[in-house]
Structures are given as structure tokens and as C-alpha cells.
Structure 1
């Protein structure tokens, strides 16, 4: 059998098979996909600049000081003062950032035909997201500032721990309490397709009791699936677009990829690795913030780092750090996506299904980036790399593999 597969692989042109897929996206569709994704590079920069500008305005006009002073009139304890300061900061920041949010989240998405919600429905979802932030955010900030007051030199380390606890708790609760605020989740219907997914999961000792479908078609037509939660809340979810727009082979291939995330423990390891990057950012802020406050604090009405009025100072510095750390965050995710791709191909054994699914993501991801471009900006492997990996797996594992020419217009299927 090995000799037969080796002979088949030698006669199968991986590059030609890859090109057969990639060439199905040409002309205006390719240009639109590239323009949308490349525009996102600038959004990272401009989004950071706008965030820094908002923080500077809040400091320049002493709004943070006013928030703190109001908190001191309403609360006697430091925790309450910080909580109210953070709450008002988040509200004012959201209002000042609203034009940018409308442009990036609504107008631009509509321009590229990637959003199906009307403005009212879109704004409603934004308000839900803001409400969640206003419930959770001020509590996290108040706890971190309590840590700063108790450990002024090592607060960044303890603050990283606090952040990790909240990330874990939110990650565990989000599938049950937060995600249903935006979409309806229902158990996947019984039938041959679910049976095939369950059998694939059981072959790798992956629990498949909770497979959910959510109605993301009301927001957009992108295909998607994910593994979310920790411990008792962990679940595998796929959106209705994946069920309605793709073939069984594509669905099984995508679900094999998601099973890979579960089997390889990516949820926990990704959280820990990203927490390390966040910890580095807090460490740098712990060095830079006191120096910045020493120079400008009197003008802003900020006493020191432990002063709740310093929230915009820390936010400004973290915004710059997170922009510079974009490649770090992206590579953490992309490495795990590569691992899940490899697992999914072995689990599902649907190389052409995975290649077609990867091509569908070209609706909003640049298909053939340069190596440096992919390294810096891509959270997932590019479509080109995913299709080539699929075709290489096909050459190595399928007896008598053939080059498949996707039908014309299959990327337009609704």
C-alpha cells in the first residue's frame, strides 16, 4: 500500500491542484477580497491612534480627574471610587469612539457586502456589547487598582494573575450566558451528518454531546465554527451558514478542524500564551506610566499610578503596546490554527472539502499574501497555504488522487 500511495503522490501535481482552486477567485472578486483585508491593516493603526487621541482628550480636559472626584463624593472606599471612575471612562470613551465604530463596524462592512443587519439592529448589538463591558470592565479595573495600591512595584505581576482569572471565568461563562445574547443556539439535528461528526469525534475520544448550531445568518453570510468554553461549558458550535452554504464534505472537514482545537487543548494554552503577552505589556506600563505621570500628571490632575484618574494613562500606553504586539497575538492563534488544520485533515479525510471551505473564507481574507504579510497580519493560515496543505495531504494519503476543478460559481453559493 505504501508503494502504491508513493507512486500516486509522484504522479499528482500538488501545485497544479492548488492552482486549480486558487484560480477560481479572479477579477473583481479577488480585488474586493484583497482590498477589504488590506484595509484592515490600516484599521489597526488608525484604531490605535483614535484610542490614543480619546485618552489624551480625557486627560487634557481633566475628565478623568472629574470622574475620580465624583467617585470620591459618592463613595468612601477606594474600590467604589475606582469602579465609578472606570465606568464613566468607558461610557465617555464609547461615545467619543462611536463615529469610528460606525465606520468600521457598520459602514465599511456594508460597503463590502459583509453585513446583513440594518443600522438599528447593528446598533442594538453594539449596545448589548457595551452593556456587558460596563458590567465587567469597571470591576476588573477596580480590582487591578486595588492590587496597584497594595503592591506598587509588583502590581503588574499580580495584575496579570487577576487578568488571567477573569479571562478563564469569562471564557467558561461566555458560551452559556454571553453568546446567547447575540444568537440563538440549538442542538444540531439528528441525522447522517451529525452521526458522521459524532463518529469522527468518538474516534479521537472527543466528547460530542454538545454540538450546537447558531443563527449567524441574520448578521452575515460568512461560514464559521468554533470551540468555546472551559470544563463543563465547553462546546462545539457551527453557524447556520456553514450548514446551508456548503457541502457535507466541507462541513465534516471544518468540524474535524474544530475537534482538533478541543483535542489539542488550544483553548487553555492560547489563553495562557496570550496572558504572557499581556503580562509583558503590564510590566512595560508599570515602568513607563510613572515616568509619564511625573512629567504630565500635574497638568492632567493625576497624582500617581494608583490614582484612578490614571486609567487613561495606562490605557494609552497599553493601546500602543497592543498595536506593536499584533504579530505576537496573531502568531499565537495562527500556529494553533495550523495544528488544527493538520488534525482536521487526518480526522475528516476530506482534503477537497477543506480546500473548498478555505476558499470560501476568501470572501473576507486575502487569498495569497506575502510571507511577511501573513506573519504580521494573519490570525489564520492564508487560503493559499490551507489549500496547498490539503492537496499535499491528498497526494500523501489518497490512492490515485485526481486534480479537482471546482465548478464555476461555487464560491457564490448561498
Structure 2
């Protein structure tokens, strides 16, 4: 029976992947509305023919990968259960008398196996970025980051899994609530140490070196009533040609970070607009709103898993080869449900993020009052990242945490028109 279900799952995934291929490459097309053609939002006015071609091609490949890789993860977990691999890992991990050691060994075997399975996909993404002129990172540097990712993610996952299954054994009915309560300080702690412990493992961060530009940024920060000691630059040019800036951390460790690629590619006016945008996030406390939304979504997710997972085990436990939820070999089913729920929640979380980004754009335009710099900034960001300025609706809903560039440039145009009439 498990074999038949496994074959059915593979066929279903293949049909889905084929359907997504035709949707992404042959059916969907964001296009450019007639009212936008010839304006500053039309990519044909600021991108070369080759950039337009590469942008279209690169975006379609990345969109296709997004929509097929996550369901492939679900398929992998299903096959791990159907084929009995999860129980095999549990048997191999039966070392020592302590349950915590056994569960830790099981997680390492499962995590190593899934990493090996996904390595060709991750490697393809690395070479894809290099081929299209986005990535600049050497393979040795990429592998270093890949191994670093493995151990950091494994370490944090280990803590979460060990605590989670300990709670499930102690309280079969309320484990989800206790797990959520523990998540709150853990999430805050991780966000607090992110800028000063984790991020520096990957890149070098240092105070902004251009002192003349720093004075302009500090003046802008003073105008916005923002503490001025949190502006940093990071040497991202060793890894990418893309442009970016972001806000990270909380409390004393919060900081605004500029990529050195941004500093090298944009004018001072454009950089000031980006900084004003990040200041908008700071002023409107988007980090704290995001953290609260994240914690609330975990509560909903854990509650759903506490209801769905036992039902699945009761209904399909024989096929899934799961005896009891409290046994560690049930972990692939939990990871499958987490991945599935996260995928379904993407449109909601992305909508909230796009709203925050729009608010930050509006704040930046009010603070700088320089629509020309705003337009040229968005145009340069699109060129550097080969961005799809007007993606299809499905892609926008599931992938875009920022408004598409066409919308962002239109927001600037509306702001400039409003200002001129006042």
C-alpha cells in the first residue's frame, strides 16, 4: 500500500511540475500596461534589450524553481516516511540510554540526508546566479557559507526539536501552547544576536567609511529623530552584484546596513533615499510588528499541527509507518506540515511585508522630497538584480515581499504629482 501511495505522490508531483512549467514559461506574463508604456516605469526606457531578455529569462527560471522546490520538499518527506527511512534513521540513532542523545543523532541523520538531496538544487542556484552576472562569489567561498549554514541551522533546529519532542512526551494535549510560550523568548534572543553574532560569520561589517556621505545620512537621521549610531556597511561585493540595504536586530543591537555594492553603484541622493526608506522601517517599528506577526503565526501553526498531525497518524499511521506522534520518527511528517503551512501563509505574510515596504517608500519620499532620486534608485535596483518589474499575479502573491518595481515607481509618480498640485 505504501508503495502505491509513493508512486501516486511522485506522479502527482510530476503533473504539478509540468503544469507550473507551462504556466511560468508559456502562459503567465505580467506584461506592461498600455498606460505605463513609455513612462519612467516602463523597463524599456531604462533597461537595454539584453537586460530585458536576461531579466525575463532569469525571472522565469527562478519563479519555476520556487514553485517546484517546496513541493519537492513535501515529496521528499512523504517518501522518507513511506519507504521506512525515518524508522531506519531512528534505529541507527539508537545510541546510549539518553533519549535526548538518540533524538539528536536521529535529527543529524535526517538533516544530513535532506541536505545531500537538496545539494544539487542549491548548487544549480549558485551557478545560475553566476551565469546571469548576479553572483560573484567563488565556489570555495560559497561552499564555506553552505557548510556554515548547515551547522548553524542544524544547531538551532536541534534545540527546537529536542524541546518540542520533550514537551510532546510530557503533555500530549498542550505541548503546542508550552512550545509557543518558549518560542517568544527564543525568537527575541535570536533576533537580538543576529547582527552581532550570526551575520558577522558570513560577512565583514564596519561603520560607514565615506565620512562625507555619513554626515548627510546623520543629518537625515537627525531630521527623522533616529539614533545615528546604527549605520553600517558590509562587503557584499565579494558575493553579488545586487544592491540592497536593510534594518536588522532589536534594542541596542539594531542597525541599518548598506551593501558596499549599493555604495559603489548609486549616487549620494539615491543612497539617501534608500537610507530614508530604511529609516521609515525604523520609525514605524516594522521590525517589532514583524516579530509580533511571526510569533502569532507560530501560535496558529503549532495549534494546527497539534490537530492535524494526530489525525493523520490515526488515519494513515500504517502507511506513514508512524506509531505515535511522540516518537522522533514522526518528525518528517511534522516538517512536511510546517513547510506546507508556511507555503500557504506566503500570500498573507507577503502582503503585510509589501504594505510595510510601501509605507517605508512613502516615508522616504516625504523625508527626502526627491522623486527623481527615488525613480532612478528603483530603476538601478531593477537593472542590478534583473528584476521582473511586473510579475504575474500568482508570482507576486507567493514570492514578492516588496512591491514590484512598476508599482514602486508609480507610487513615486503619484507622490510627485500630488506634491506639484498642492
Q: TM-score range by the shorter chain?
A: 0.7 to 0.9
| Alignment-derived partner of residue 304 in structure 2 | 284
Partner in structure 1 of residue 249 of structure 2: 229
1:113 shift after superposition: 1.9
The equivalences for 1:205-224 within 5 A come to 205-224=225-244
Q: Find the aligned partners of 1:161 and 1:85 in 2 and give their Cα distance.
A: 25
1:353 and 2:381 correspond: no
| 2:323 alignment partner, SS class | coil
Deviations 1:156-209 (A, max 9, x none): 333333333332211111110111111101111252211111111112221111
- What's the counterpart of residue 329 of structure 2? 309
Q: Which residue of 1 aligns with 2:18?
A: none
Determine whether 1:369 maps to 2:391. yes
Q: Return the TM-score normalized by structure 1.
A: 0.86
Q: Which runs of 5+ in 1 are unaligned?
A: 1-12, 401-414
**1:133: which partner in 2?**
153
What's 1:177 paired with? 197
1:157 to 1:355, Cα distance in 2 relative to 1, 3 A: farther
Distance 1:337 1:381 in 2: 7
| Cα deviations by residue, 1:28-57 (Å, 9 ceiling, x for unpaired) | 312322332233332232112221232123
The alignment covers a number of residue pairs equal to 386
Q: Which residue of 1 aligns with 2:110?
A: 89
Describe the SS at the equivalent of 2:40: helix
Instruction: Give the alignment partner of residue 121 of structure 2, picking from 100, 120, 138.
Output: 100
| Equivalences for residues 65-214 of structure 1 within 5 A | 65-76=87-98, 78-104=99-125, 106-189=126-209, 191-214=211-234
User: 24, 29, 49: which is aligned to 2:71?
Assistant: 49
1:391 to 413, 417, 422: 413
For 1:411, the equivalent position in structure 2 comes to none
Separation of aligned partners in 1, 2:73 and 2:301 = 17
**Distance in 2 of aligned mates of 1:75 and 1:231:** 42
Contact 1:21/1:355 (8 A) holds in 2: no
Q: Tell me the secondary structure at the aligned position of residue 278 of structure 1.
A: helix
Segments of structure 2 that go 5 or more residues without pairing to the other structure are 1-34
The alignment partner of 1:18 has SS state of coil
Counterpart CA distance in 2 for 1:342 and 1:15 is: 24
Distance 1:75 1:238, change over 3 A: farther
**Distance in 2 separating the partners of 1:176 and 1:276:** 26
Q: Which runs of 4+ in 1 moved over 6 A?
A: 13-16
Alignment CA distance shift 1:192-1:87 (3 Å): same
Residues 39 and 45 of structure 2 are in contact (CA less than 8 Å); yes or no, is this contact kept in structure 1? no
Shift of 1:91: 1.6
Deviation by residue 1:244-289 (Cα, 9 ceiling, x = unmatched): 0111111000000001111111111112213333333332222221
Q: Which residue of 2 aligns with 1:240?
A: 260
Aligned to 1:39: 61
**CA–CA distance in 2 between the matches of 1:319 and 1:310?**
15
Find the counterpart in structure 2 of residue 319 from structure 1: 339
Any conservation in 1 of the 2:95–2:101 contact (CA below 8 Å)? Answer: no
Distance (whole Å) between structure 1 residues aligned to residue 121 and residue 138 of structure 2? 17
Q: Distance in 2 between matches of 1:36 and 1:232?
A: 39
Q: Deviations over 1:325-380 (max 9, x none)?
A: 22122112111111111111112222221211211222332112355653443110
Deviation at 1:71, TM superposition (A): 4.2
The verdict on how the C-alpha distance between 1:49 and 1:369 changes in structure 2, with shifts beyond 3 A counting, is closer
- 1-side partners of 2:198 and 2:392: how far apart? 37
Distance 1:202 1:398, change over 3 A: farther
Larger deviation, residues 237-246 vs 131-140? 131-140
| Residue 19 of structure 1: how far off its partner (Å) | 4.3
Q: 2:133 touches 2:241 (CA, 8 Å); kept in 1?
A: no
User: Which of residues 292, 317, 334 in structure 2 aligns to 1:272?
Assistant: 292
Q: Shift of the alpha carbon at 1:235?
A: 0.7
Contact residue 114 and residue 221 of structure 1 kept, 8 A: yes
Q: Distance in 2 between matches of 1:190 and 1:42?
A: 40
